[in-house]
Amino acid sequence: MDFDFNIKHEDDRTRAQDEADGFMEECKKKLEEKDLDPVAMIDTLADCMEQKINEALAASTEEQEFQTQLKKRMASDLAPFACGDLSFNTSTEVINRTWTFRDTTKKSDPRRFLLEVFHELASSSIIAVRNFTTPEDCDALRFFVEDDIRIPFSALNDMTKQGQLVQSLAKRFYQLIQATMGWENLAFETQSSEFGVNLLDILTDSEGLSVLPTCTKEDLDKMSENDSAQAPTTCNLPGASSVQVPTRQFLVNDDRQVATVFLFCSQDGNRQLGGLHFPNAAVHLNPQPNMLVIAQHQSIQKPMFDGYTDEYHLCPNHDVMTHTFYFKDFKKTSSDKKRNAETDKDEL
């Protein structure tokens, strides 16, 4: 708005147009200084515009790279504080969707699940599903724990009640991956035989770290009643220095890894910390019992990390079960392009 109250709308398109008009004016002024025939004038004008646009693109690329590196450094530095801040809430989802699970092997009603999408791009996404499991499912999983670090694929072949519960759970998160990633021919056998992965790996916190909560108004009122009272030992005063908490950092560096599932079964009430933190995507999820999280690291169609979900941190004071999904990428040669084009879809 100018002094005459004339309003001018601005957006990315109008700003780009204004910048292009400015380039044109600069190039025209240069042409006025030269005595050129019409054809040479057009060529010179085109060369000048090309140079200006290339300079603008180079400057924009440099600025974007600077901002990217700056955000990554900030995210890395803030990760331990995110885990140490008890008031660090779960991020806000960008969209919610409903997904229906149908078990074709049983005569049961379809189950509906709410998918909370916290990050979504063509090559990466972060989705949380609350109440994805039941306490009975988690008890069944514990029945098959081996060496305190894994639940083997063989649990799916167990004919006990626990085995049936685990099989139903595995069907759910495999079908969910199929639905969210468009992966039509995903199967238990493929992941187990081709890549030798466990059904679930158990990541256990051995430190049992804890951070005092921030003092409530009631705590502060009790302090004010006694002038000689010292700083409380059961809570941190408001405004106190942020607490750094060590995190377990995981990097996804295998170009066949396309997604990871995180399953939180239970949460000890005495443990006050926890969380799954994706620094580059600026997404923080506080664990809840029976919650499932899916982190897609790259697209199946074009395997390439975009950098948003291929790094994650597990805050202390919680156990989490994980399952990694892999994609078998065949290298095509000129002699078998046609054959591979016909069979790629079936060889996942």
Pairing status of strand 248-251 against strand 311-314: antiparallel
pLDDT tens-place string over residues 301-328: 877 888 899 899 998 877 889 999 998 7
Could you give the C-alpha distances from 110 to 100, 105, 113, 165, in angstroms and in order? 6, 12, 10, 16
- Is the pLDDT reported for residue 108 higher than 80? no
Position 32 scores a pLDDT of 73
Phi, psi dihedrals of residue 77, rounded to the nearest 5°: -70, -30
- Grade residue 177 by pLDDT with cuts at 50, 70 and 90: very high
C-alpha span between 301 and 292 (Å, rounded)? 25
Phi, psi dihedrals of residue 334, rounded to the nearest 5°: -60, -30
C-alpha span between 113 and 28 (Å, rounded)? 61
Q: Which residues contact 116 (CB under 8 A, 6 or more apart)?
A: 93, 96, 127, 128, 129, 130
Please report the DSSP string for 114-128 in residue order: EEEEEEE-SS-EEEE
> Among candidates 290, 292, 276, which has minimal Cα distance to 174?
292
Please work out, in degrees rounded to the nearest 5, the angle formed at the alpha carbon of residue 118 by the alpha carbons of 117 and 120. 75
241 in Cβ contact with 224 (< 8 Å): no
165 in Cβ contact with 140 (< 8 Å): yes
C-alpha span between 170 and 46 (Å, rounded)? 61
C-alpha span between 156 and 166 (Å, rounded)? 6
Mean pLDDT of the region 215-222: 80
Mean pLDDT of the region 191-218: 83
H or E segment at 188?
Answer: helix 188-195
pLDDT tens-place string over residues 250-306: 999 888 889 999 999 876 655 666 789 999 999 999 888 899 999 999 888 877 888
Position 227 scores a pLDDT of 58
C-alpha span between 64 and 333 (Å, rounded)? 36
Phi, psi dihedrals of residue 298, rounded to the nearest 5°: -160, 165
Task: Match 């790094």 to its residue by tokens.
Answer: 311
Q: What average pLDDT does the structure give for the chain?
A: 81
pTM reported for the whole predicted model? 0.73
pLDDT tens-place string over residues 109-134: 788 999 999 999 988 999 999 999 99
pLDDT tens-place string over residues 93-107: 889 999 998 877 777
